[in-house]
Amino acid sequence: MKKVLITGIDSFTGTHLSKHLKNSRYDVYGTSLFKKSDKIYICDVTNKQDVQSVLKKIQPDFIIHLSGISFAAHGNNEDFYKVNTIGTINILDTLVELNINPSKIILASSATIYGNQDLEVLDESLCPMPANHYGASKYSMECMAKNYFNRLSLVITRPFNYTGINQAENFLIPKIVKHFKENKREIELGNLDVSREFNDIKYVCEIYKKLLESDISSETINICSSRGIKLLDIIDMMNEIAGYKIEVKINPAFVRKDEIKTLTGSPKKLFKLIGNIKPQEFKQTLLEMFKS
């Protein structure tokens, strides 16, 4: 069994991905800031000694680096760069210093690096223009990581929005679903005219597995489906699932001045490299979250 190290294994993505890989007969290890258990090690990626200790113990065949701050409204801007940028470089530096060369290292960046491009579909050829510190920290990580392309087998992924059971309620889709589960009569939201990809976490996990098993290296790849969904359409789906119509109110505090209006990606490069994967209907994802 090949050993896979997932940093941030107790995150939303990490918990789903670890199960997915275990079901595919991988020997899964992980890091967490707080929870230590069998095959899960306490590790702060901003602390290089922590990183060295974990990598020496595990000697992984594969690494999927998910650890980072992913909530764009996180209060401390410095944290984005300490964790998302410096934390990633600590891992890459340590691998080189210890002469540990996994078969594949996947680094999770973000589609927010594109910023506002005034295009409906975004592909990897575009020049990034991040509009917030989260996106900027991920883009700086990408720039630094590319310096290791000639020394490590790296793939940088740019996931577009995805969701599923057990995602934190400070994210948009879980917030909406929670309101309906609690039978609330109204909900406060921000910009309603935004269009986003909202893929299912299972779709994302399968893509990570296929990338892991591929011979792809030194590439930057969107994780997307090109399926844009408007916020109001999601409300309509939930009205039907829950059997009642919720009242939507605009809260100016939730309207971001740097809001990206349309964020859907081109999966052309992704599907060319790993084959076509059909995403689950989004209404089914909402139904699963509603019933969980």
**134 assigned to active site:** yes
Residue 181: inside a domain: no
Residue 251: inside a domain: no
Residue 116: inside a domain: yes
pLDDT confidence of residue 74: 54
Give the integer Cα–Cα distance in Å for 99 and 292: 44
The first and second tokens of residue 104, run together, are: 């594949």
Residue 259: inside a domain: no
Residue 173: inside a domain: no
Residue 257: inside a domain: no
The first and second tokens of residue 112, run together, are: 């927010």
pLDDT confidence of residue 96: 98
The first and second tokens of residue 101, run together, are: 């060369």
Dihedral of the alpha carbons of 68, 84, 110, 56, in degrees to the nearest 10:
-70
pLDDT confidence of residue 75: 64
pLDDT confidence of residue 196: 86
Range of the domain at 61: 3-162+199-224+265-274
Supply the Cα-derived Rg of the chain in whole angstroms.
19
The first and second tokens of residue 196, run together, are: 């986003």
Residue 100: inside a domain: yes
Residue 130: inside a domain: yes
Tens digits of pLDDT across the chain (292 residues)? 899 999 999 999 999 999 999 999 999 999 999 888 889 999 999 999 999 999 999 999 999 999 988 655 556 789 999 999 999 999 999 999 999 999 999 999 999 999 888 888 999 999 999 989 999 999 999 999 999 999 999 999 999 999 999 999 988 999 999 999 999 999 999 888 888 899 999 999 999 999 999 999 999 999 999 999 999 999 999 999 999 999 999 988 888 776 777 779 999 999 999 999 999 999 999 999 999 9
Options 26, 114, 134, 203, the catalytic residue:
134
pLDDT confidence of residue 58: 97
Give the integer Cα–Cα distance in Å for 266 and 269: 8
Give the integer Cα–Cα distance in Å for 250 and 278: 34
The first and second tokens of residue 71, run together, are: 């909530």
Report how many domains make up the chain. 1
pLDDT confidence of residue 2: 96
Distances (CA, A) of 290 to 161, 174, 184, 283: 19, 9, 13, 10
pLDDT confidence of residue 255: 81
**What's the CATH number where 30 sits?**
3.40.50.720
